[in-house]
Amino acid sequence: MASANFFESKRFRRDFGTYKPAIEIPDLIDVQRRSYAKFLQADKAPHERENTGLQSVFKSVFPIHDFNKTAALEFDSYQLEAPKYDVDECRSRGMSFAAPLKVTVRLEVYDVDEQTGTRNIKDVKEQEVYLGEIPLMTDGASFIINGTERVVVSQLHRSPGVFFDHDKGSSHSSGKILHSARIIPYRGSWLDFEFDHKDILYVRIDRRRKLHVTVLLKALGYSVEELLSYFYNNETVSIQKDGTFFLNFDPELYVGTRANTDWKDEKGKIIVEKNKKFSKVILKRIADAKIKRFPVEIEDLTTKIAAFDVVDMETGEVLLECGEEITKEKLDLLASRNITEFKILFCDRVNIGTYLRDTLVQDKVQTREEALIEIYRRLRPGDPPTLETAQALFDGLFFDPAKYDLSRVGRLKINHKFGFETPIENTTLTKDDIMAVVKYLIDLKNGRGQIDDIDHLGNRRVRAVGELLENQFRIGLVRMERAIRERMSLQDVETLMPHDLINAKPVSAVVKEFFGSSQLSQFMDQTNPLSEVTHKRRLSALGPGGLTRERAGFEVRDVHSTHYGRICPIETPEGP
């Protein structure tokens, strides 16, 4: 037992236990502390800061250009100064425990050559600008706002990524199950894919009026042949001189499917009976018999779909168009023109449906340009579309990092779902992502794959205080950006300094509003020390981007099996 120092307390804690504690008590509010430290990065030098939190917000909004691109406001660094009062004094004075935020920005003015359009830097002005105050976290992971102690509760929200679901037969009177998919970004436009009761596939951008999914795919630059080749396998049909037809048999295509007619060999012997499954045993029997092709009747070929254009090489005439339904007249025409073989889509309308091809038939858009203008009309009704504005709008929707952000989590989930190896840093959508989502949705309709459980914790994530404030700070900076751009365009930039352009009110107002009146910023429960800890560890589904009390149904409130051992079902935050 250590001897008592004169200044130390005379009271000692004696431990009579025979066992030492196996593990130390963990830091129960470490999530809050780490999240806010990651947001501020106050202990790091400006050049060492990672692209997260405040740093990423500034990097995403700056540089700000004027409308003529003759000047730019560049972000250099930020620093947090020491708070004016300490925690105790803030409590007694009714003040907020906050640090002044100073941002170093550069105003660059350019000389633009009217002939070549090249820009040369004419003048550079650098200045440190005050951008309001940011509340600091106390040692106990709370905030002092206007003298009262508040806690920012972490938000449990739907994770960014792609989700597949169906309506359980509730949408249509027939009780038909309609499948749908939704790509949810962290920031940007939502993309919904859905089947209607006629099995036509549609897409909605930002929950606007739906349009055929093939319009979106054509706008991505895919032709009809490329689309059919991507979504369907194809088979080769050969035409004999006597006018009989043979189907070249590819066993890999038929594994697990059922025969929709009797399959006979060239001698007329039945190899596979109607409605029998192509099992591995049957496929091995076909391989052992060295059967490479089966004779097919004209009746079996009619209603099949052509995979590619069939062209008469002598005249250049297109006898059968890609995606066209084959008829008896077309088969007679091919035989009369000495066509020896053609390819059909592998879809029997039982195991594999013709959903995408049927959508193509209904879709009247032919070219990429028409598709872009059609999308523009749906998103901007009333505006006269031009090809340039339509292209700019479409690129900005899903492929511009400034307007669309899947986040690293969203990119990781999409990569995991489809087995992609797209770099985590690429947080915009790619063509392959959209095509893979449509293909998986069609596979679901064909009975392969599984839908996602939205209430599963694997499809949810926690936004802690740092991330919540980062989103609010971005809103304030975007508002400030608009005001800066207007001032740069209206006034003579050469006579201005950076502080003349920047007004900190939109940013500080958003931060004050978040801490003062957000659903997630709550007066700290100070009944006893344990209630303080549980309040800081609480999760809420409400708040910005989350649920509202009116919309929250029974499923969201219910205890899911993935909650056990992770989330306490008794410790509920908001009551109703």
Which CATH number goes with the domain that contains 287? Answer: 3.90.105.10
Q: Are residues 252 and 344 in the same domain?
A: yes
CA angle 122, 124, 127 (to 5 degrees): 160
- Give the count of alpha carbons within 13 A of 525, CB side only: 15
Pair 37, 137 in one domain: yes
What's the distance, Cα to Cα, between the start and end of the chain in Å? Answer: 53
**What would the DSSP string read from start to end of 172-241?**
STT----EEEEEE-SBS--EEEEE-TT--EEEEETT-S-EEHHHHHHHTT--HHHHHHHH--EEEEEE-T
End-of-domain residue from the set 415, 439, 459: 459
For residue 364, give the CATH number of its domain.
Answer: 3.90.1110.10
Whether 297 is covered by a domain: the verdict is yes
Residue with tokens 């459980």: 453
Would residue 108 count as lying in a domain?
yes
In-domain check, residue 4: no
Partners of residue 126 on adjacent β-strands: 106
473 lies in the same domain as 446: no
Whether 421 and 496 map to the same domain: the answer is: no
Q: Is residue 520 one of the residues assigned to a domain?
A: yes
Amino acid 334: pLDDT: 80
Task: List, in order, residues 6 or more apart from 504 with CB less than 8 Å away.
Answer: 129, 130, 131, 132, 480
Q: Is residue 572 part of a domain?
A: no
Q: How far apart are CA 356 and CA 362, in angstroms?
A: 10
575 domain-assigned? no
The reply to whether 144 and 190 lie within a common domain is: no
Instruction: Give the model's pLDDT for residue 573.
Output: 60
In a domain, 123, yes or no: yes
Using CB atoms within 10 Å of the CB of residue 514, give its burial: 0 to 12 exposed, 13 to 18 middle, 19+ buried. Answer: buried
Q: Which two tokens stand for residue 340?
A: 């020896």
Token readout for 47 is 């050049």
Binning the chain into helix, strand and coil, the percentages to the nearest 5 are 35, 20, 45
Does 338 share its domain with 389?
no
Number of H helices, E strands in the chain: 19, 23
Tell me the β-bridge partners of 121. 110
- Tell me, what's the pLDDT at 70? 82
Give residue 10's pLDDT. Answer: 64
Round to whole Å and give the CA distance between 98 and 132: 10
Identify the bridge partners of residue 128 per DSSP, sorted by sequence position: 104
Q: Does one domain contain both 435 and 475? A: no
Q: How many domains does the chain have?
A: 3
The pLDDT of residue 281 is 78
**In terms of DSSP H, where are the helices of 380-406?**
387-398
Q: Which of 429, 459, 489 is the last residue of a domain?
A: 459
User: Do 38 and 132 lie in a common domain?
Assistant: yes
DSSP code at position 7: S
Please check whether residues 492 and 343 belong to one and the same domain.
no
- End position of a domain, from candidates 459, 478, 495: 459
Mean pLDDT by 10 residues, the chain (576 residues): 52 78 85 93 88 90 85 90 92 93 90 75 87 93 93 92 86 82 91 90 89 92 88 84 78 71 71 75 76 76 81 80 82 80 80 84 88 90 87 89 89 91 89 92 88 89 93 92 86 82 91 91 92 92 82 80 88 61
Q: Are residues 367 and 451 in the same domain?
A: yes
Specify the CATH number for the domain of residue 528.
3.90.1100.10
pLDDT at 1: 44
Check residue 576 and give its pLDDT: 46
Q: How is residue 386 written in tokens?
A: 């031009």
Q: Is residue 93 part of a domain?
A: yes
Q: Are 110 and 70 in contact (CB under 8 A)?
A: yes
Compute the distance between CA of residue 104 and CA of residue 113 in angstroms, rounded to an integer. Answer: 29
Residues near 211 by Cβ (< 8 Å), separated by ≥ 6?
A: 202, 203, 204, 374, 375, 378
Joined together, the tokens standing for residue 361 give 């038939």
> How many C-beta atoms surround the C-beta of residue 172 within 10 A?
12
Cis amide linkage into residue 569, ω under 30° from 0: no
DSSP state, 258?
A: B
Same domain, 220 and 243: no
Looking at the fold, whether 79 and 174 belong to one and the same domain comes out as: no
Distance CA 432, CA 422 (A): 10
Domain that holds residue 97: 30-157+462-563
Pairing mode, strands 245-248 and 234-239: antiparallel
Q: How many CB atoms lie within 10 A of CB 27?
A: 11
